[in-house]
Copies of this chain bind each other. A is one copy, B any other.
Amino acid sequence: MLKSLEEYSPVELRHLIREGKYTKPTSGLAAGYTQANLVILPKDLAYDFLLFTQRNPAPCPVLEVSDAGSRKLKEFAKDIDLANDFPKYRIYRKGRLDEEVTSVESFWRDDLVSFLIGCSFSFESELIAAGIEVRNITQKVNVPMFNTNIPLKKAGKFHGNMVVSMRPIPEKQVIKAVKVTAAMPKVHGAPIQIGSPQHIGIADLQRPDYGDAVEIKQGEVPVFWPCGVTPQNVIMQIKPEFVITHAPGHMLITDVKNTSLKYE
């Protein structure tokens, strides 16, 4: 009898994806294991971007940076091919989405540096484990994300404002939600704002700039976390010649458990 996809280990899933047999979003797969965002840049932009992530770790938590030209990782996955192990990639040219592909092998160059960036999937599973409902998961939609007026620290070519994700949390559970996520700085850490969207330049919670709106019930407070869309946003603003990213929701499944992203 065939085992169901949910029972596959991270490395088994990466093999399946590498062989082109799975090309869909990775949400719900390999429960408990960290999934990662991807940005691949030519080396001539890599220093400014690495410095940008160093100066803005909350929205841009770097899990691992590859060696230039390498399709391997050392920390987050052993048996891995960065050019094939994401179910779907996006190719951007001059800041414009050019195509979506399931392999970037034919685009690979010796000067490409891959940045793996932490994703709020990891802290959402910890919130649920702590007994806190995550509305976008309950409603089976993408988390609502908003542009803000919170300026980021500039680094070389890169600058811009923070993008945040919003989750409505019952007032009595807000402190617990802060504590759970504050302990996971490699996946955005603590919230940046609680309860006052207008203070960070958000006018209407039902009209997110990215993702889907979610219901906010009586007695719930909107809580805002730094969001991994920020680095992609900042990169696209300078319209670089060539960038590869993962397609939204089509993440890398790593060998590292979410729980190991907590403070050591």
Top 3 closest A-B pairs, CB basis?
Answer: A47-B47, A50-B50, A51-B65
The quantity of this chain's copies bound in the complex is 2
Query: How many of chain A's residues touch chain B, expressed as a range?
Result: 20 to 34
Indicate which residue in B62, B67, B68, B155 contacts A54 across the interface (CB closer than 8 Å): B62
Known contacts A50-B50, A54-B50: does B153 contact A74 (CB below 8 Å)?
Answer: yes
Chain A window 52-88, contacts with chain B (Cβ cutoff 8 Å), 1 for yes, 0 for no? 0011000000100101100000100000000000000
Instruction: Give bound CA distance, A55 to B63, whole Å.
Output: 9
Q: A47-B50, A263-B263 are in contact. List 9 more A-B contacts (CB 8 A).
A: A43-B47, A46-B47, A47-B47, A50-B51, A50-B54, A51-B65, A54-B54, A67-B156, A190-B264
> Which B residues touch A65, using CB under 8 A?
51, 54-55
Kindly provide the distance from the CB of A260 to the nearest chain B CB, expressed in whole angstroms.
15
Considering only residues 112-145 of chain A, those with a C-beta below 8 Å from chain B are: none
